[in-house]
Amino acid sequence: MFRARYDRKALGGGWRQAGVLASAALYGLENAPKTISEDHRRAEHLATKINELKPDDFHVDLDGMTNMVMVECLGRFTSIQLEKELEKNGILSFMYDEKRVRLVIHRCIDDEDIEHVIEVFRQL
């Protein structure tokens, strides 16, 4: 009996909320393909604009772009300072390390939001 319980739990039989997790996964599989290409397009547009606007202060590597934009601070700003400036303007970001800030584009971000971020970078 002990061995049967051990084997059941080892195979995931101890999950009480498996249905909730499965429901979230199913939602993602059904809905993500509809929006992920738009998220990637928006992220690439934002990254390109950041590189054009402030090449001495910021850099985004465009190779292997996903929906995440990793902004490298080169000049006047540290990642902490950039994160605070973005937050003042209603933009959530994540200080990835001493030199980089991560911006994540997702299904709740639209073109108007991207233009707002671009305008904030223009004013920095």
**If pLDDT is split at 50, 70 and 90, which confidence band does 97 have?**
very high
| pLDDT recorded at residue 122 | 95
Q: What is the percent of the chain with per-residue pLDDT over 90, rounded to a whole number?
A: 65
Q: How far apart are the first and last CA of the chain?
A: 66
Residue 46: burial class (beta carbons within 10 Å; 0-12, 13-18, 19+) = buried
Tell me, rounded to whole angstroms, the distance of Cα 79 from its chain centroid.
Answer: 16
Q: What is the percent of the chain with per-residue pLDDT over 70, rounded to a whole number?
A: 91
**If pLDDT is split at 50, 70 and 90, which confidence band does 51 have?**
very high
CA dist 98 → 24, 38, 81 (Å) = 34, 30, 10
Q: Is CATH 3.90.1150.10 what the domain over 36-123 is classified as, yes or no?
A: yes
Q: pTM for the complete prediction?
A: 0.78
**If pLDDT is split at 50, 70 and 90, which confidence band does 46 have?**
very high
- Whether 93 shows a pLDDT value over 70: the answer reads yes
Residue type, 83: E
